[in-house]
Structure 1
Amino acid sequence: MQPIQFFAARAEDGALLPNAYVDVFVHGSQARAVLFSNSAGTVPLENPFQADANGRVFFYSSTDRIDIRISRYGYVAPMLLDISTVDVATAVEQVRGEIDQLLVQMKAEFDQLLLDAGYESVFLAYAAGAVVERPRQLVQRSGELFRVKDQNELPLTLTGAWATDEPKLMPVGDASLRQGLASLDGTSLIREPDGATLKTGMAAIRAAINRLQAGSATSQNNINQRVDMHYGVLRGVGFVGGESGGLVSTVTTAAVSADRFLPVANTASFLVGQLIVYQGANGEYYSGVVQSKDANTLSLDSKIEQPVSVGSVVSNFYSDVAHPNENGFKAIADFALRNLRKKTERVIAWAPSDGYTTQLAVTIGGVNSPEYENPGSNARPALGITAGANLAGVVTLPFDIAGGNYVARVTLTPALSGSIDPAVAASIAIRETVAGVGSPTIAAATVTGVRPTCVEIAFCKRPNSTVQVVITGASSGHQIALSKIEIVRVNSSVRSLDKGVHVWLGDSWFPMITRLQERLPNATFINAGVGGNRSDQLRDRFAADVAPYKPVCVWAVAGTNDIAQSVDPEVYAYNMAIVSSMISEVGADGIFFNVSVGAKAHPTLGDLLTRSRNYADKVAYLSESADRKVGFASRVHIPIALSVPAGATRRVGVLPGTTTLGATINKLYVIGQSGSTTGNIRFGFGGSAGAAISEDLQSVALSTSIRQNIAVTKSTVAERFMLVEVENPSGAAIDIVGFVIVTWTPL
């Protein structure tokens, strides 16, 4: 089953329908389809059910073809008809299986046809002394087939002299028939039971295959996928001092359907702040961080991801300071398979230094302490956000990307320790602006916890619009640490992993293969893991250890030893990029796990946490979208709609990256809402996306005319951000609207 997910919205204007009712029917009927909330089909979902508070609809169905009806408050959207729940790879395999069966049947029918017509499949070669014994026995000479004319002459012994034997034999025309069957139109000579020719049937089959292939035209191979091991299943937490190591487990004493509390038989072996593993009711393994405990309850820092049955296993995660235990490896493998559903390409990579604006009362600072709760490091500090009120926070500058389906991946710690109850959620929203006019939030999520996490939010962006990501707190004093934001384009569905040859290329974390093989029984796994390997060693042995197997998939894991041996993050990134290229060259898909979480206080190496954070932030692993071209001109559209206080200057845009060259403003139109031309548009360059223009400042006055082709000069070759601002020199606030279109060359 493939997941069915979308946002419920009005057909007329695209307005989202939060909490809308969703009815799912067997296609072409009023019978309700069977629904599930998980891919294994073990957790039933009511039908009808409600979309979530953001209008998001998500379910699985064992019914191959379904119709969907959306309704809310008396409004009923047009029916969504004939939706397939079968993934393309499975559908193609089904059709191929049907074709194979049909061909076997056709061959049997054809053989019977020949027998009924008096043909035999084994021919007697014409030669002196050959004996023809049966009336229908065929003699082959020079490609032609013959039969004895007079059955009274049987058995007939051939002399080998054609002049003597020919009068006793008659041609049966098989060569002519075979030539006809071998021609381009040969399939028209064979008819099926319903009277249709084989040619007609094969044309219909090819058409069906073409439709399936057309539907999967975006299912490109050789696009890297990243498993966010560092902030995902490891939750940014490494080995905690005082852990016992090995495998220490207990069991749950009651079933839990939600919340963050696990009732267990004994908590003595667990520590506050420790990463643990619990088994869900679906049989899969999940991770969590202990926030607090009493004698028989482990309180996690965030809600459980899956209901837990009574008697389920709960254990520690790490076997030692550098390796998971058996259950830890299971949790990583299960996390990977849950998240490897769509192929994506990175379009935007945002860091706090790329600029932002604030919303309501908020205090901003840097978070660079080497603590597990910090998603950044001293080299790449996280943005510390302290809300002064509900929904106070930060807003990224506008991102101008093509219309389509995207996922925003936001890496943050939702609540820094002690600032607020860990059950209180931080909010993340995607805001869209079209033609300078802000629209309601188009996607949103809330997240809790006091450890780093990566939150994924799917959204659909309209053409000719910009989007911003908004991160806010729940109340005054709520502290959030924001590390980075990636926006990735949803490219296609991941082809079925449960087949073909998979090579595990990595270090000593190869015990994960055992769980992957359990979950993917039809795939063949080759263990090319070598304990102690660094990224350069993976690169150097690829040709010998991977390429000969001609894999369909390569699982790449490295970094633990690079971190321990102080390999520069740039060198690590280079090595993994080479590995990525090699994977593409052999025609395989690459699945990359980002680095493990280094121990905060390694017994011999000290602080490995900071190094691991630098690796996790530095290396993307994902394929870069063609939209992010290096060295090619790119056009950016920046809508403008803001209020500028008296005597103030406000940022209206920053180009999404740095450049060493000048730019061209293709079109510029900025004016006060009442037609006022008081004020100036300023543009130039700066060393930080969040700072003021510091180099090559230029300024033009507001105007009722559209200005075109303004050269933005740059006096140095230093790498800088291009910035655009509105200046209000007057003594009263002004409301500004308009747009600017810029052509520039990103690095």
Structure 2
Amino acid sequence: MSTATAAGAGFALGTFRDEIKSALYPEVDSGAVPVIGMHFRALRGVGWRMAERPNEGKLLQAIVTKAPYGLDGTWFDVDKPSGFVPGQLVSVLSPDGLYRSATIAEVKGSSIRFQQSLSHALAVGSSIFNFYLNDAHPHTPGYFAIADDAAAQLNNPYERWRALGLFGGWDKVGNVVLTENANSDYGNPGGAYHAAAALQVSVSDVLSGVQSREFALGVGDYRLSLPLSFARTTGYGSLIRVDVLAWSPQQRTSVTISTDRFRSLDGVFLAEVPFTLDQDTTVSFSLVIEDGTSIDMTLGYGHILRKSARPLDLSLGTTVLFGDSWINWGSVTERFKTKWYPKAKFVQSGVPGNYLGHLLERFDADVIPHKPRNVLVMCGTNDAYRLPTVQQFQDQAAILREKIRAIGARPVFWDCSVCDKNYVDGDRLIPSRVLAIGTDYNGPAPYPTA
């Protein structure tokens, strides 16, 4: 073989290797961080309740004996209702094999009413489990619900692109009264001080409600994510319409580009409305009632999510699950392996009691040696119990984010869990709410980390 041929072969082989390496381990960009919503999704804004204490540590299971009924399909019957209480978060094993969460509104004999309609996911034979083991940890079926919902988001990842302010961020539409809701309870999707308090909207007439300020957005696929709660005044509640409006800067007129509708059932509800922009556009959002006569709805701190330019494929390379006892329990890792990513390589690195500072301390020893492609971070429960400011928590998250990027891996964060309203040392619901709604995982690091 001539020198030229050998050199050519070497070049071709080197190029081939580079292409394989690029395909399997592409360079990680510094774009926005995907955030797995948990606080208002799998956890539905609900934590442990005092009424659950008699069954602390016990796994309750009830089997559905009568399929959902009633106008909204929120009632159903079970074989063993004992131990289930109003306001309790539960995990539901649906006929399709997925775990979902729901919140109990009422228990009457063997009949249970959910705050949400899961008529599509409940059937005779479905199982209902209490979600929480104690004030700070789920049972295994609860972790499975977290994992199943996380997988749905990981397979179609979105990034927090813009935050929707509350006071000053919404205007009245029609006959409406706006007030601040700073109550500390699971039914309020906001915090307990002005900067994070929820916006209560008292609506008296049909087609009245609120409209947000305008946001300039570029081309892409988006989703409005807005936590709401309702106080039904009569009957089965009102029909709420959410519109995404695109504005013309010349004529100052708007066109509805996406619409969704839902019933104002009890409890916290996460309104998620997808929309696509094929050109740079200014958009706003409106919420109005379409039937009924009056309703109080409370708006939490929402976000505009943008679909990630690069999908997350956990089947390639190594993924480190990095966090506290919620990772250490092992159920999230187990569910990922058995249900969603059977060919993936996971490294589980959770330590009970850890907060973000601990994760920073053990990053070099517990993450770097595995040369991960992705690092999924679940942390915040212990942080909320320590009462940090949002800025302190955000700074530590930013430092961890940059350390992950520095080793060529992609960072992904779960948002904060829902902590105990009645913790012995004081309310921890509001600190966890504030961390969940106020943390900018794309915020600047307080100092260079590389």
TM-score with structure 2 setting the length:
0.86
Of residues 60, 63, 78, the one that matches 1:251 is 63
Map of 2:337 onto structure 1: 517
Which amino acid in structure 2 is aligned with residue 399 of structure 1?
F
SS of 1:600's equivalent in the other structure is: coil
Map of 1:742 onto structure 2: none
Residues 504 and 422 (structure 1 numbering): CA distance in 2 closer, same or farther, change over 3 Å?
farther
Map of 1:426 onto structure 2: 240
1:540 aligns with 2:361: yes
Asked if structure 2 preserves the Cα contact closer than 8 Å seen for 1:559 and 1:595, the reply is yes
Map of 1:21 onto structure 2: none
Of residues 224, 238, 245, the one that matches 1:408 is 224
Offset of 1:254 from its aligned partner? 4.1
Q: How does 1:285-364 map to 2 (within 5 A)?
A: 285-304=99-118, 306-364=120-178
Residues 495 and 615 (structure 1 numbering): CA distance in 2 closer, same or farther, change over 3 Å?
closer
1:589 aligns with 2:398: no
Map of 1:394 onto structure 2: 210
CA distance, structure 2, for counterparts of residue 610 and residue 421 of structure 1: 31
SS of 2:413's equivalent in the other structure is: strand
1:485 aligns with 2:302: yes
Offset of 1:591 from its aligned partner? 2.2
SS of 1:452's equivalent in the other structure is: strand
Map of 1:574 onto structure 2: 395
Map of 1:439 onto structure 2: 254
CA distance, structure 2, for counterparts of residue 346 and residue 239 of structure 1: 27
Offset of 1:409 from its aligned partner? 1.4
CA distance, structure 1, for counterparts of residue 228 and residue 155 of structure 2: 23
Asked if structure 2 preserves the Cα contact closer than 8 Å seen for 1:266 and 1:295, the reply is no
Asked if structure 2 preserves the Cα contact closer than 8 Å seen for 1:407 and 1:456, the reply is yes
CA distance, structure 1, for counterparts of residue 294 and residue 269 of structure 2: 20
1:224 aligns with 2:33: yes
Asked if structure 1 preserves the Cα contact closer than 8 Å seen for 2:68 and 2:119, the reply is no
- Superposed CA offset, 1:589-621 (max 9, x none): 22211111111212x122111111111121133
Residues 305 and 456 (structure 1 numbering): CA distance in 2 closer, same or farther, change over 3 Å?
farther
SS of 1:232's equivalent in the other structure is: coil
CA distance, structure 1, for counterparts of residue 345 and residue 168 of structure 2: 44
Residues 500 and 297 (structure 1 numbering): CA distance in 2 closer, same or farther, change over 3 Å?
farther
CA distance, structure 2, for counterparts of residue 614 and residue 334 of structure 1: 25
Offset of 1:484 from its aligned partner? 2.0
Map of 1:365 onto structure 2: 179
Asked if structure 2 preserves the Cα contact closer than 8 Å seen for 1:505 and 1:556, the reply is yes
Asked if structure 1 preserves the Cα contact closer than 8 Å seen for 2:35 and 2:160, the reply is no
Higher RCO, Cα 8 Å, sep 6+: 2
CA distance, structure 1, for counterparts of residue 326 and residue 368 of structure 2: 21
Asked if structure 2 preserves the Cα contact closer than 8 Å seen for 1:539 and 1:576, the reply is no
Map of 1:384 onto structure 2: 200
1:457 aligns with 2:273: yes
Residues 184 and 564 (structure 1 numbering): CA distance in 2 closer, same or farther, change over 3 Å?
closer
- Report sequence identity in percent: 26
CA distance, structure 1, for counterparts of residue 199 and residue 168 of structure 2: 11
Residues 536 and 307 (structure 1 numbering): CA distance in 2 closer, same or farther, change over 3 Å?
same
Which amino acid in structure 2 is aligned with residue 247 of structure 1?
L
Of residues 419, 424, 434, the one that matches 1:614 is 434
Residues 547 and 361 (structure 1 numbering): CA distance in 2 closer, same or farther, change over 3 Å?
same
Map of 1:551 onto structure 2: 372
Offset of 1:289 from its aligned partner? 0.4
CA distance, structure 2, for counterparts of residue 307 and residue 343 of structure 1: 23
Residues 441 and 537 (structure 1 numbering): CA distance in 2 closer, same or farther, change over 3 Å?
same
Residues 463 and 303 (structure 1 numbering): CA distance in 2 closer, same or farther, change over 3 Å?
same
Residues 306 and 517 (structure 1 numbering): CA distance in 2 closer, same or farther, change over 3 Å?
farther
CA distance, structure 1, for counterparts of residue 245 and residue 140 of structure 2: 42
Asked if structure 2 preserves the Cα contact closer than 8 Å seen for 1:302 and 1:422, the reply is no
Of residues 44, 47, 56, the one that matches 1:238 is 47
CA distance, structure 1, for counterparts of residue 305 and residue 364 of structure 2: 31
Offset of 1:315 from its aligned partner? 0.8
SS of 2:215's equivalent in the other structure is: coil
SS of 2:86's equivalent in the other structure is: coil
SS of 2:395's equivalent in the other structure is: helix
- Superposed CA offset, 1:173-197 (max 9, x none): xx56xx686464999xxxxxxxxxx
- Superposed CA offset, 1:36-86 (max 9, x none): xxxxxxxxxxxxxxxxxxxxxxxxxxxxxxxxxxxxxxxxxxxxxxxxxxx
Asked if structure 1 preserves the Cα contact closer than 8 Å seen for 2:239 and 2:292, the reply is no
Asked if structure 1 preserves the Cα contact closer than 8 Å seen for 2:157 and 2:312, the reply is no
Which amino acid in structure 2 is aligned with residue 601 of structure 1?
N
Offset of 1:333 from its aligned partner? 0.6
SS of 1:518's equivalent in the other structure is: helix
Offset of 1:362 from its aligned partner? 0.6
- Superposed CA offset, 1:561-580 (max 9, x none): 11112222221111111111
Offset of 1:377 from its aligned partner? 1.7
Q: How does 1:143-162 map to 2 (within 5 A)?
A: none
CA distance, structure 2, for counterparts of residue 331 and residue 318 of structure 1: 12
CA distance, structure 2, for counterparts of residue 253 and residue 336 of structure 1: 29
Which amino acid in structure 2 is aligned with residue 388 of structure 1?
S
CA distance, structure 1, for counterparts of residue 280 and residue 437 of structure 2: 30
Which amino acid in structure 1 is aligned with residue 199 of structure 2?
L
Asked if structure 2 preserves the Cα contact closer than 8 Å seen for 1:387 and 1:479, the reply is yes
Offset of 1:301 from its aligned partner? 0.8
SS of 2:132's equivalent in the other structure is: coil
Offset of 1:357 from its aligned partner? 1.7
Offset of 1:493 from its aligned partner? 4.7
Which amino acid in structure 1 is aligned with residue 440 of structure 2?
A
Of residues 422, 440, 447, the one that matches 1:601 is 422
Asked if structure 2 preserves the Cα contact closer than 8 Å seen for 1:502 and 1:526, the reply is yes
CA distance, structure 2, for counterparts of residue 587 and residue 609 of structure 1: 35
Which amino acid in structure 2 is aligned with residue 381 of structure 1?
A
Residues 186 and 323 (structure 1 numbering): CA distance in 2 closer, same or farther, change over 3 Å?
closer
CA distance, structure 2, for counterparts of residue 615 and residue 273 of structure 1: 22
Asked if structure 2 preserves the Cα contact closer than 8 Å seen for 1:275 and 1:317, the reply is yes
Offset of 1:331 from its aligned partner? 0.6
Segment drifting more, 301-310 vs 481-490: 301-310
Map of 2:448 onto structure 1: none
Segment drifting more, 404-413 vs 243-252: 404-413
Map of 1:156 onto structure 2: none
SS of 1:574's equivalent in the other structure is: helix
Q: How does 1:175-190 map to 2 (within 5 A)?
A: 175=1, 182=6, 184=8
Asked if structure 2 preserves the Cα contact closer than 8 Å seen for 1:222 and 1:589, the reply is no
Offset of 1:422 from its aligned partner? 5.3
- Superposed CA offset, 1:358-389 (max 9, x none): 11111111111111110012122100001111
- Superposed CA offset, 1:145-184 (max 9, x none): xxxxxxxxxxxxxxxxxxxxxxxxxxxxxx56xx686464
CA distance, structure 2, for counterparts of residue 268 and residue 424 of structure 1: 32
CA distance, structure 2, for counterparts of residue 305 and residue 254 of structure 1: 11
CA distance, structure 2, for counterparts of residue 366 and residue 411 of structure 1: 15
Offset of 1:235 from its aligned partner? 0.5
**RMSD of the alignment, in Å?**
2.9
1:496 aligns with 2:317: no
Residues 553 and 403 (structure 1 numbering): CA distance in 2 closer, same or farther, change over 3 Å?
closer
Aligned length: 423
Residues 422 and 556 (structure 1 numbering): CA distance in 2 closer, same or farther, change over 3 Å?
farther
